[in-house]
Amino acid sequence: MRLDCLVIGYNDTPFGRHLDLVSRKGGQAIEYRTARHDHVRFDGQRLPYMDLLAELDRRRSGAGTGHVGFHIGEVPNLAAVYLTSHLRQHGYEADFVSAFRPEQDRLTALLTDRDPLITIITTTFYISPGPAIELVEYVRQQNPETMVVVGGPLVANLIMDTDSATLPWVLAEIGADVYVHDGQGEDTLRKLVEAVRGGQSLDGVPNLLWVRDGETVVRTRRIPENNSLDECAVEWSHFDGADLGPVLQTRTARSCAFKCSFCDYPVRAGALSLASLSTIERELDAMAELGATDVVFIDDTFNVPLPRFVDICHLMIRKGYGFRWYSYFRCGNVRGSEMFDLMASSGCAGVFLGIESGDDTVLKAMNKSASVDRYRNGIQRLNERGINSFASFIAGFPGETEQTVQNTIDFVNDAAPTFFRIEPWWYNHRAPIHQQAAQYALTGRDFRWRHATMDSAGACDAVDRVFAEVTESSWMPMWNFDFWALPYLRGRGFSAEQVVELHRLARDLMLLNDGDGEAAEAGRRIAERALTDWYAGVDVRPSRYGSTRLA
Q: Is the pLDDT of residue 336 over 90?
A: no
Percent of the chain residues past pLDDT 70, beyond the cut: 99
Please tell me whether residues 352 and 290 are part of one structural domain.
yes
Give yes or no for a contact between 347 and 297, defined as CB atoms under 8 angstroms apart: no
* 225-254 residue pLDDT tens: 999 999 999 999 999 988 999 999 999 999
Question: Where is the domain boundary, 227, 258, 273?
Answer: 227
Please tell me whether residues 504 and 481 are part of one structural domain.
no
Residue type, 119: T
For residue 336, being part of any structural domain is answered with: yes
| Half-sphere exposure (Cβ direction) of 397: Cα atoms closer than 13 Å | 29
Q: Is the pLDDT of residue 269 over 80?
A: no
For residue 143, being part of any structural domain is answered with: yes
Give yes or no for a contact between 390 and 350, defined as CB atoms under 8 angstroms apart: yes
Residue 353: its H or E element = strand 348-356
In terms of residue numbers, what domain contains 513? 499-536
Please tell me whether residues 24 and 45 are part of one structural domain.
yes
Question: Where is the domain boundary, 178, 198, 227?
Answer: 227
- Specify the long-range contacts of residues 48-51, CB closer than 8 Å, at least 24 apart: 48/15, 48/477, 48/479, 48/480, 48/481, 49/477, 49/479, 49/480, 49/481, 49/485, 49/502, 49/506, 50/480, 50/481, 50/485, 51/15, 51/480
* 104-123 residue pLDDT tens: 999 999 999 999 999 999 99
Total count of domains within the chain: 3
For residue 546, being part of any structural domain is answered with: no
Please tell me whether residues 318 and 464 are part of one structural domain.
yes
CA–CA dist 424, 46 (Å, integer) = 22
Coil/strand/helix, residue 62: coil
> What's the start-to-end Cα distance of the chain, in Å?
28
Coil/strand/helix, residue 444: strand
Please tell me whether residues 357 and 332 are part of one structural domain.
yes
Please tell me whether residues 223 and 312 are part of one structural domain.
no
Residue type, 76: P
Please tell me whether residues 309 and 214 are part of one structural domain.
no
Neighbour-count burial of 144, counting CB atoms closer than 10 A to its CB (0-12 exposed, 13-18 middle, 19+ buried): exposed
Please tell me whether residues 439 and 532 are part of one structural domain.
no
Q: Model's pTM, two decimal places?
A: 0.95
Please tell me whether residues 165 and 212 are part of one structural domain.
yes
Domain with 122 in it: what CATH number? 3.40.50.280
For residues 233-267, b (16+ Cβ closer than 10 Å) or e, as one string? bbebeebeeeebbbbbbbbbbbbbbbebbbbbbbe
Please tell me whether residues 49 and 167 are part of one structural domain.
yes
Sign of torsion over alpha carbons 181, 229, 255, 327? negative
Please tell me whether residues 476 and 355 are part of one structural domain.
yes
Domain with 394 in it: what CATH number? 3.20.20.70
Please tell me whether residues 420 and 521 are part of one structural domain.
no
Coil/strand/helix, residue 176: coil
For residue 239, being part of any structural domain is answered with: no
pLDDT band (50, 70, 90) for residue 64: confident
Q: Which residues pair with 248 in a beta bridge?
A: 295
pLDDT band (50, 70, 90) for residue 522: very high
